[in-house]
Structure 1
């Protein structure tokens, strides 16, 4: 079995492709259980965020993972293959370390991905997807993330997705304090966005959520109000700014609803930020003349500000990642030796016990102890040497050099011996 990472992210695939391969939070556990039930897959975990979907696995080959991923999303392998990266062993380990440290994120150095990675690991653990290899991989990844965070300035001058949304809104509207802002959803991303917009003191701040209680809890933190998602079509015209990020697998804001809202607003513009993958807002909405719709990919240029200032921090972080990758691969290689070492020890123990029992019986019969000890030592010596001597005698000429070198190294034999 080898270690593999198979996936796509904001660099390799547009949002239209990423949303097809996204897994909803409630899908992760069952999907992992299904994947590890596939022949040739021993361990597995799935990470799915707005910017990436990745499979981590200890598996026989990458083709098995590709076929499963395509089938699980009701797609053909050739439809998704051009957008995927397929990383084996060392490259797989290096990749997850970079992901955990925020080096592979759209927002360089952001910490949200680490929490998402930990959530994915918990789901995989509960679903029976983690074994020694992946558990060791992820624990090392969390350690790398902590070291990068504490030893480098990777998080300095970072512009988050939430801050980028505010910056874009301020390009369109002179003063957010004169506007009504609506947040759809109540997850971590919406919480971050609400905090950033609330700092601009909007005239009204509202939260729409499927679970009203959770929406009310978030809104109350910022002096806002909340309403059920079912009321969205009639309430939408009241808001100048709409930020949405839910786990819905289908759009919750359609073209017709926005057209009616614009008409009711007498064509006053609406600024919309869709941070969900799959998207919450139908793509056709972006073509309306009075709507300014931005997806996570549209925010990329804004959130990349400050990368130049953090170039040295990235170099420092990469040094940590490289060293940690070597350490992990050494650990993984050592683990591969464990079955052989255990089998060798078991073999030696069986020989020892057999000869000890034989010697005990001879002593019980009254045999001379010195003669019994001599016989015991000779028998053990012969049996321990039987396997290497047989291998040397039975090998053909092409194997002699390799076997001789191995035996001399194992038994510390020198030329004079």
Structure 2
């Protein structure tokens, strides 16, 4: 069995290209079905698959008897509507131990924009849960991910990899504080109501802004989040008309198209008499049209723009990284040992089937002898002798076949298998 992975992330691909391969959680199941169907049952039967898609990465993990990286690459390029050559120039491919090591590092937060951040582990668990529910996860990938979760837990328990890590939300607060002298005088609008917005709202609420509002497509969900922070909820459709009211706008939705356009921001600026606006687009694909960044009095940051802020302080955690890599190395070796053993499963199954057949034959023979009135002692003796002869027949035949060198090799193997002394 082989494992392979391919993907693109914040270090290899620009934001807009990553956006073409972003899958919302509810899109992953049908996407997995499309991927697995593309292999064809004859050339690649029973391909296991899982897709991890976040604002910083999209990765596909597969397992089958034979690696099919080229096919997976072609499918991903087609799904994103880009030329394979363009995708290859921004993607990475991994297989077997390299794929396992990468999965373990991702789960442990070592491959994240924010070193040691814990959010990716929850996102991986969600992706695995979806793959399992969709019937795309077999024993091999299940082992890979369960071991990655175990390694991540050990890394976070045994090292300080997550200590003092700066989240995207915290970085946004820091940047906003550089623009506005006192965040308590600002009005903050959050667009969306997902996990990232929840985290951002928590950070900003700690600064006690003048007002907080949540704009969401589903008003009920927006109201639920807004109530936690003493804010108000509004419908997404009302956003353009009310945009001018807010000094800070943080957006992260699952929309496939921008929901805050250049025209809406221009009108908001005019209504604000060009008082500055701080905007953060945490979505992939973008929620805010990129042209907005060129407007005067607009300070727009994307997830990639926050990279420099969140990288601060990483040097202090390099010792923890080294400790984490040792834990990951041990995890990779353990997984590869398990994967190697999987190759002997068919042989073990055949041996068990053969032994069961011999046992059934001798049991049937023993029952006949008992029915004829033979003594139990004689029947047991005949059954044990019959089983012994069947077990030893193949070994004896091999021992007497071939040339001297092959007989010597067979003799050593048989000695190791049959003449082991109990300890």
Check whether TM > 0.5: yes
Counterpart CA distance in 2 for 1:14 and 1:398 is 61
1:234 to 1:401, Cα distance in 2 relative to 1, 3 A: farther
User: Once the 2 structures are TM-superposed, how far is the Cα of residue 226 of structure 1 from its aligned partner?
Assistant: 1.6
Q: In 1, are the aligned partners of 2:400 and 2:407 still within 8 Å (CA)?
A: no
Aligned pairs for 1:10-409 within 5 A: 10-37=10-37, 38-39=39-40, 40=44, 41-59=46-64, 60-61=66-67, 62-362=69-369, 364-365=371-372, 379-391=386-398, 405-409=412-416
1:203 to 1:362, Cα distance in 2 relative to 1, 3 A: closer
SS in 2 for 1:87: strand
User: Once the 2 structures are TM-superposed, how far is the Cα of residue 76 of structure 1 from its aligned partner?
Assistant: 3.3
Counterpart CA distance in 2 for 1:369 and 1:161 is 78
In structure 1, runs of 5+ residues without a counterpart are none
Task: Give me the TM-score of the superposition, normalised by structure 1.
Answer: 0.91
> Partner of 1:5 in structure 2?
5
Q: In 1, are the aligned partners of 2:278 and 2:299 still within 8 Å (CA)?
A: yes
Q: RMSD of the alignment, in Å? A: 2.5
Counterpart CA distance in 2 for 1:361 and 1:122 is 54
Q: In 2, are the aligned partners of 1:3 and 1:58 still within 8 Å (CA)?
A: yes
1:393 to 1:42, Cα distance in 2 relative to 1, 3 A: farther
1:381 to 1:239, Cα distance in 2 relative to 1, 3 A: same
Q: In 2, are the aligned partners of 1:25 and 1:247 still within 8 Å (CA)?
A: no
User: Once the 2 structures are TM-superposed, how far is the Cα of residue 393 of structure 1 from its aligned partner?
Assistant: 6.1
Superimposed CA distance per residue, residues 353-378 of structure 1 (whole angstroms, 9 cap, x where no aligned partner) = 32343355456556798887776555
SS in 2 for 1:339: helix
Counterpart CA distance in 2 for 1:167 and 1:261 is 24
Count how many residue pairs are aligned between Structure 1 and Structure 2. Answer: 414
Q: In 2, are the aligned partners of 1:182 and 1:241 still within 8 Å (CA)?
A: yes
Superimposed CA distance per residue, residues 225-270 of structure 1 (whole angstroms, 9 cap, x where no aligned partner) = 1211101111111211111000001111111211222222222221
User: Once the 2 structures are TM-superposed, how far is the Cα of residue 73 of structure 1 from its aligned partner?
Assistant: 2.3
Q: In 2, are the aligned partners of 1:24 and 1:249 still within 8 Å (CA)?
A: no
Superimposed CA distance per residue, residues 176-201 of structure 1 (whole angstroms, 9 cap, x where no aligned partner) = 22222111001111111111111222
Superimposed CA distance per residue, residues 75-132 of structure 1 (whole angstroms, 9 cap, x where no aligned partner) = 3322211222211111211211111111111111111111111111111111011111
1:306 to 1:385, Cα distance in 2 relative to 1, 3 A: same
User: Once the 2 structures are TM-superposed, how far is the Cα of residue 33 of structure 1 from its aligned partner?
Assistant: 2.5
1:198 to 1:365, Cα distance in 2 relative to 1, 3 A: closer
Farther off after superposition, 180-189 or 32-41: 32-41
Counterpart CA distance in 1 for 2:121 and 2:55 is 14
User: Once the 2 structures are TM-superposed, how far is the Cα of residue 390 of structure 1 from its aligned partner?
Assistant: 4.7
Q: In 1, are the aligned partners of 2:399 and 2:411 still within 8 Å (CA)?
A: yes
Counterpart CA distance in 2 for 1:398 and 1:278 is 66
SS in 1 for 2:265: helix
Q: In 2, are the aligned partners of 1:47 and 1:55 still within 8 Å (CA)?
A: yes
